[in-house]
């Protein structure tokens, strides 16, 4: 029979202490992972016509199925119509002027560029997240675009020619100098439409020079972050952003309870071209509406 | 006692962990409150009885917006993708590549003038229709080439560079042809919109003075 000494007892206690601590940690982690999505602030669900908390997406899917089975109640339809009317009133005020404007539809995750009520261009976001103080359905205007590497306009050095000057070096293309030559004579395949224009290194500012990740700051304090792309880099930054969104932002909002929490929105795009297109189209001062049908 | 320092460390870490968990839990509750506020913001109260019905109001608003839309053919230019669309209502009649503004900056070395070669964005309309146009070279064209700006108008005129047709839409901007067909689809111009010959002909033929042009 082995005798249990005082030091053995102490060692056993230590072991128990450790195991208790680690099991406690594990339980907290589990609880954390369960409730984390609820911290997501608000996410616009593709299906639901309600703004829902991030973690309730599965519930929303169930709701959708239920809704599909039973027709919408008259009250619900009436409410949707009233919201649409309010949106149309705002759109009418924008359609009156010559400038184009944007409409962000949180339900369909659609960003539209419109003029006179006509659709010019649209982009579909893969995900939209909203957080902070909600903003009312109103016309907002873009105050500032902010990016880590904003596109820079190139300067033309007088005498050295511009973009067209670069082309002059190509014998297949007519230019100002030999402009007297009839363009109809130019039958070389390179000069035809759809030639390899992409291969030219231009000094111009093009859509591909636009950033894929940037912030849009609106006059109502709303900050819209646009994120795009796939691959290793963006995935890592996405993880960082998820941590910030699910943990740090709610805690920060909670700690700043007495101050006004600025509204925030993140638009995620699968294609960088979409994010670049929005940067291009959203000129300073552009007005628009963000709404939830 | 000496060996028990780790217990204190453990206790401190546990306390921090529990405090963190409590903070996160409180943040969740707070966040849920915000969510409910979101729902309230998008709730619209119905108009008092006796006034116009929501359905009628909806139809009226849609009609009002529709009245601002162009009647007949109009031209849409996407300066990001360098594409044009000739449309009537929602129907695309013709589409193709164009070249729009390069976005470059030119500064006059002898003065305080500078130019940004952007294609203007917004709603415009065709103000002039010209066949066999001549280009009256503005000051920047000479400055860019490093040449002196001529005083006589005759020295500014250049033919055969704008194609067979030109449609003016104000402030010296035109939809015109190009010799640089290989650069269609790229941002290379000084602000005008360059078309391929066949596209330009089609656009010219269907356009009238007043035809709307939307550039975005």
Assembly ipTM: 0.86
Q: Does B148 touch chain A (CB under 8 A)?
A: no
- Enter the pTM of the model: 0.76
The helix (run of H) or strand (run of E) holding residue A69 is helix A57-69
Under 8 Å CB-to-CB from A155, ≥6 apart: which residues? B104, B105, B106, B107
Nearest Cα residue to A211 out of A277, A125, A112: A277
C-alpha distances in angstroms, A217 versus A43, A273, A284, B5?
A: 19, 21, 10, 51
CB nearest B146 (choices: A52, A159, A195): A159
| Separation CA B103–CA B82 (nearest Å) | 13
What pLDDT does residue A238 have?
75
- Chain segment B95-104, per-residue pLDDT in tens: 999 999 999 9
Cβ separation A206–B121 shorter than 8 A? no
The separation between CA A97 and the C-alpha centre of its own chain, rounded to angstroms, equals 27
What pLDDT does residue A254 have?
82
| Separation CA A190–CA A173 (nearest Å) | 8
Q: Which of residues 13-72 of B touch A (CB under 8 A)?
A: 14, 17, 21, 23-28, 30-32, 34-35, 37-46, 54-55, 57-58, 61-62, 64-66, 68-70
Cβ-based contacts of B27 with chain A (< 8 Å): 39, 250-251, 253-254
Nearest Cα residue to A101 out of B122, B111, B42, B208: B122
Cβ separation A174–B158 shorter than 8 A? no
Which chain B residue has its CA at the smallest distance from A19's CA?
Answer: B10
Q: A235 to chain B nearest CA, in Å?
A: 25
Q: How much of chain A, in percent, has pLDDT values that exceed 70? A: 57
Cβ-based contacts of A131 with chain B (< 8 Å): 34
Q: B180 to chain A nearest CA, in Å?
A: 6
What pLDDT does residue B94 have?
96
| Separation CA A123–CA A198 (nearest Å) | 23
Q: Which residues pair with A104 in a beta bridge?
A: A111, A290
Q: Which residues pair with A121 in a beta bridge?
A: A113
| Separation CA A63–CA A182 (nearest Å) | 67
Residue-wise pLDDT tens for chain A (293 aa)?
455 566 666 666 666 665 565 556 555 544 454 444 433 445 544 333 333 333 333 344 434 443 444 445 556 667 788 889 999 999 999 999 999 999 999 889 999 999 999 999 999 999 898 888 778 889 999 999 999 989 999 998 887 755 443 433 333 334 433 333 333 333 333 333 334 555 566 778 999 999 999 999 999 889 999 998 755 566 777 788 888 888 888 888 888 776 777 888 999 999 999 999 999 999 999 999 998 88
Q: Does B120 touch chain A (CB under 8 A)?
A: no
What pLDDT does residue A255 have?
83
Nearest Cα residue to A274 out of A110, A61, A118: A110
What pLDDT does residue B207 have?
96
| Separation CA A165–CA B146 (nearest Å) | 12
Which chain A residue has its CA at the smallest distance from B191's CA?
Answer: A204
């Amino acid at each position: 029979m082995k005798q249990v000494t005082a030091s053995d007892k102490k060692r056993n206690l230590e072991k128990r202490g450790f195991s208790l601590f680690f099991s406690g940690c594990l339980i907290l982690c589990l609880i954390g992972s369960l409730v984390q999505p609820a911290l997501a602030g608000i996410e616009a669900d593709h299906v639901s016509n309600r703004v829902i908390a991030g973690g309730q997406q599965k519930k929303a899917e169930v709701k959708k199925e239920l809704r599909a089975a039973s027709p919408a109640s008259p009250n619900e339809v009436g409410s949707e119509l009233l919201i649409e009317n309010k949106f149309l009133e705002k759109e009418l005020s924008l359609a009156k002027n010559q400038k184009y404007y944007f409409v962000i539809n949180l339900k369909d995750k659609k960003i539209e560029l419109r003029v006179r009520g006509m659709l010019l261009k649209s982009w579909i976001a893969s995900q939209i997240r909203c957080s902070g103080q909600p903003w009312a359905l109103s016309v907002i205007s873009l105050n500032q675009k902010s990016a880590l590497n904003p596109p820079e306009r190139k300067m033309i050095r007088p005498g050295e020619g511009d973009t067209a000057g670069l082309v002059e070096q190509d014998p297949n293309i007519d230019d100002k100098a030999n402009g007297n030559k009839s363009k109809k004579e130019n039958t070389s395949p390179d000069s035809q439409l759809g030639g390899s224009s992409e291969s030219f290194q231009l000094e111009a500012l093009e859509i591909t020079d636009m950033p894929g990740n940037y912030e849009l700051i609106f006059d109502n304090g709303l900050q819209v972050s646009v994120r795009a792309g796939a691959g290793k880099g963006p995935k890592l930054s996405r993880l960082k952003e998820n941590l910030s969104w699910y943990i740090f932002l709610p805690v920060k909002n909670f700690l700043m309870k007495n101050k006004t929490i600025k509204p925030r929105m993140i638009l995620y795009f699968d294609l960088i071209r979409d994010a670049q297109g929005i940067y291009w189209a959203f000129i300073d001062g552009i007005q628009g509406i963000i709404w939830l049908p | 006692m000496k060996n028990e320092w780790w217990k204190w460390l453990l206790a401190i870490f546990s306390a921090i962990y529990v405090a963190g968990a409590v903070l996160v839990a409180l943040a969740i509750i707070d966040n849920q409150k915000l969510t409910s506020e979101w729902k309230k913001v998008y709730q619209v109260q119905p108009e008092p009885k006796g006034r116009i019905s929501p359905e009628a109001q909806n139809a009226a608003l849609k009609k009002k917006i529709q009245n601002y839309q162009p009647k007949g053919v109009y031209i849409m230019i996407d300066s990001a993708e360098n594409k044009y669309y000739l449309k009537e209502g929602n129907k695309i009649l013709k589409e193709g590549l164009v070249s729009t503004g390069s976005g470059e900056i030119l500064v006059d070395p002898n003065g305080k003038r500078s130019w940004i070669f952007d294609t203007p964005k917004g709603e415009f309309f065709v103000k002039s229709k010209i066949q066999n146009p001549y280009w009256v070279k503005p000051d920047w064209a000479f400055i860019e080439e490093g040449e002196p700006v001529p005083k006589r108008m005759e020295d500014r005129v250049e033919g055969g560079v704008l194609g067979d047709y030109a449609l003016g839409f104000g402030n010296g901007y035109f939809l015109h042809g190009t010799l640089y067909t290989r650069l269609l689809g790229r941002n290379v111009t000084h602000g005008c919109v360059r078309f391929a010959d066949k596209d330009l002909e089609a656009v010219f033929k269907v356009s009238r003075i007043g035809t709307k042009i939307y550039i975005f």
